[in-house]
Amino acid sequence: VAMAATRSVMRAVRVFEFGGPEVLKLQSDVLVPVPKENQVLIKVHACGVNPVETYIRSGTYARKPALPYTPGSDVAGVIESVGERVTAFKKGDRVFTLETVSGGYAEYAVAAANRVFPLPDKLDFRQGAALGVPYFTAYRALFQKGCAKAGESVLVHGASGGVGLAACQIARACGLRVLGTAGTEEGMNVILRNGAHQAFNHRDPNYTERIKACTGPGGVDIIIEMLSNVNLDADLQLLSCAGRVMVVGCRGRIEINPRDTMSKESSIIGVSLFLATEEERQECATAVLDGIEAGWLKPVVGSEYPLEEVANAHEDIICSSGARGKMVLLL
C-alpha cells in the first residue's frame, strides 16, 4: 500500500491549560491527524479567529474542550486526503469549513465532511476563512431565528466585525433597511461600503438618540447584538412593536426591566450556531454560496497574523478599539 505523501508532523497551536492568550503554545512536532470515515484532511491556508475562541481558551465558556486542544473552526484550504465514504470532495478541492474536529490553528486540520463546503474561485483563502462562523451566524440570526422580512429595518450593533459585516451584506441583499454601529470613523465607512444605509458611532454619548431620530417613532424591527451585556437595556428602548433583539455576543451580565418587553411585545432571542440542525446548516450554506455567486457576498478581511502571533490575535480581538473585518491567521 502506498504511503500518504503528507508530512507526518506539523506546526499547530496547542492549549494545555485554560487562561490568558499566553497559554496558546505553537508547537512544531504535532502529529498530522488522519481523517476517519466521513471526514476530510485539509491543508490549511488561512483560519479565522472568532471571539468565542478566546472565551473557550480562558475557560469561562459553557463548552470546555478536553485539554490539550487546538482552537479554530473557520478554516480555508485545500483537501489533502479524504476518509472512507466521502464522495463530495477529492484531493485538491478548495474548501472552507464551519468547524473542525482537530482544530484550525494548524497546518492541517480534520473536519467532518458535512461541515465542509466548496470555496468558489472568486474568493481567496483569506476570504474563505471569513465565511463559516460569521456568515452562517448572521444568516441564522436574521432569518432562522429573527424571521427577518424584506422591508423591515435592522440595527447591527458592532457592525464592522466579522459577523456584523456579514449581517449588513445579507440584510441589504434581502431588502432590509440596514443601520449599523461602529466605534471608529474607519469602521463606519467600512459598514457603509458593505450594505448599511446609515452608520452611527457607538462612542457618541447620544448615538441612541440619533438612531431614534433616524427610525422615527416606529423604532427598529430587529437588532443584531454583539455586546448584549452593554447594550441590551438600551436596545429594548429602540425596538418597534413586536421587535426582536438577537443576542449573538455577550461578555457578562446586565440588568434590564422586563416591562420594557411588555410595552411592545418584544422578544430577546439567543442565537447559537452550535445548535443548528443539519438542515439549517445546509440552508445557511446554500444562502452563502448563492450570495458569493451573485456577487454581493464579499468577506472583508481585517487584521492578518502569522501563526507565531496567535497570542497577539487573541489579545487584539478582545481589546482593540474597533474591528474592521474578519481577523485571520495565515499559514
Return the pLDDT at 321: 67
Tell me what the mean pLDDT of segment 1-25 comes to. 85
Dist. CA 221–CA 155, nearest whole Å: 8
| pLDDT surpassing 80 at residue 309 | yes
pLDDT for res 324 = 84
pLDDT band of residue 34 (cuts 50, 70, 90) is very high
DSSP bridge pairs for 223: 155, 245
Helices marked H in 130-239: 132-139, 162-173, 185-193, 207-215, 228-238
Q: Sign of the C-alpha dihedral, residues 204, 175, 76, 300?
A: negative
Nearest to residue 226, comparing CAs of 317, 132, 130?
A: 317
Give the pLDDT score at 320. Answer: 76
In three-state secondary structure terms, 328 is strand
Cα–Cα distance between 50 and 59 in angstroms, integer?
15
What Rg value do the Cα atoms of the chain yield, rounded?
20
Say what the pLDDT of residue 5 is.
54
The fold of the 134-274 domain, in CATH, is Rossmann fold (3.40.50)
Percent of residues, the chain, with pLDDT higher than 70: 97
DSSP 66: P
pTM confidence score: 0.94
Please report the pLDDT score of residue 4 as a whole number.
52
Average pLDDT over residues 298-315: 97
Q: What is the pLDDT of residue 2?
A: 45
Tell the residue number behind the cell numbers 476563512, with chain if given.
129
User: Which residue type occupies 183?
Assistant: G
- Domain ranges within the chain, ordered by starting residue: 9-130+299-330, 134-274
Q: What is the CATH number of domain 9-130+299-330?
A: 3.90.180.10
DSSP secondary structure letter of residue 151: T
Contact 39, 87 (CB under 8 A): no
**pLDDT tens per residue, range 189-243:** 999 999 999 999 999 999 999 999 999 999 999 999 999 999 999 999 999 999 9
